[in-house]
Amino acid sequence: MAIRNIRTIGDEILTKECKPVKFMTPRIALLIEDMFETMYSKDGAGLAAPQVGILKQVVVIDVDDGNQYVLINPEILSTEGSQTGNEGCLSVPGKYGIVTRPEKVKVKALNEQMKPYELEAEGLLARCICHECDHLHGALYVDLAEDGLHDNSEMEEAEGEDA
Ligand code: ZN
């Protein structure tokens, strides 16, 4: 396993559409392991493959709920309600913004064995799924931030995690 370089805002790769994964390969299995290691090394809650320079639809998430989620080719099926809160991104270091997301999402994806599953998520996990799925389609939260970007040092309480 290895920690990979995280691409940051301004890097064109973060604006590109990612391709679906057709089969599990040793290269993608390694990518998933490396994405977890890279995310944990930065105390992130989620990471999408384009953030490490790979234009494939692969997302890893760990919001400290006891699960390590792998979402390959994720597709949000439905959303419910809304939540407004702080959001950060490992590709936009040192910043956060206030973003409104659905309170609940239902997503379908493939796991690391390429088996389809559905996940119903709420709160931080729902926020994180939306954020990471946006990455797969070349979108960053900065375009959704309601009041622009703020420096993390201005945040009164450490709340939320970067993804
Ligand atoms: Zn992000």
User: What residues are neighbours of ligand 1 (ion), with CB under 5 Å?
Assistant: 89, 163
Task: Please work out, in degrees rounded to the nearest 5, the angle formed at the alpha carbon of residue 17 by the alpha carbons of 49 and 133.
Answer: 55
Contacts of 92 (CB under 8 A, 6+ apart): 8, 9, 140, 141, 142, 149
Distance (Å) of CA 7 to CA 39, 64, 89, 90, 154:
13, 24, 11, 8, 24
> Is 132 a catalytic site residue?
yes
- What mean pLDDT is predicted for residues 56-65? 98
- pLDDT, tens digit, for every residue of 74-100? 999 999 999 999 999 999 999 999 999
Q: What pLDDT score was predicted for residue 63? A: 97
The pLDDT > 70 percentage for the chain reads 97
Q: What pLDDT score was predicted for residue 161? A: 73
The CA distance from 115 to 133, in Å, is 19
Does residue 3 form part of some domain? no
Does residue 7 form part of some domain? no
Quick one: which of 92, 109, 8 has its CA closest to 53? 8
Q: What pLDDT score was predicted for residue 15? A: 98
Q: How many folded domains does the chain comprise?
A: 1
Does residue 40 form part of some domain? yes
- In the reported structure, the alpha carbon of residue 117 is separated from the centroid of ligand 1 by a whole-number distance in angstroms of 23
Q: What pLDDT score was predicted for residue 162? A: 82
Task: Please work out, in degrees rounded to the nearest 5, the angle formed at the alpha carbon of residue 52 by the alpha carbons of 47 and 55.
Answer: 95
- In the reported structure, the alpha carbon of residue 46 is separated from the centroid of ligand 1 by a whole-number distance in angstroms of 7
Residue 149 has pLDDT above 90, yes or no: yes
Higher pLDDT, 162 or 99: 99
Does residue 104 form part of some domain? yes
Structural domain of 17: 12-162
Which entry of 103, 132, 159, 161 is annotated as an active-site residue? 132
Does residue 5 form part of some domain? no
Does residue 156 form part of some domain? yes
Which ranges of 10-66 does DSSP label H, i.e. alpha helix?
26-41
Residue 122 has what DSSP assignment?
E
- In the reported structure, the alpha carbon of residue 47 is separated from the centroid of ligand 1 by a whole-number distance in angstroms of 6
- pLDDT, tens digit, for every residue of 85-139? 999 999 999 999 999 999 999 999 999 999 999 999 999 999 999 999 999 999 9
Does residue 112 form part of some domain? yes
Q: What's the CATH number where 124 sits?
A: 3.90.45.10
Quick one: which of 162, 77, 149 has its CA closest to 116? 77
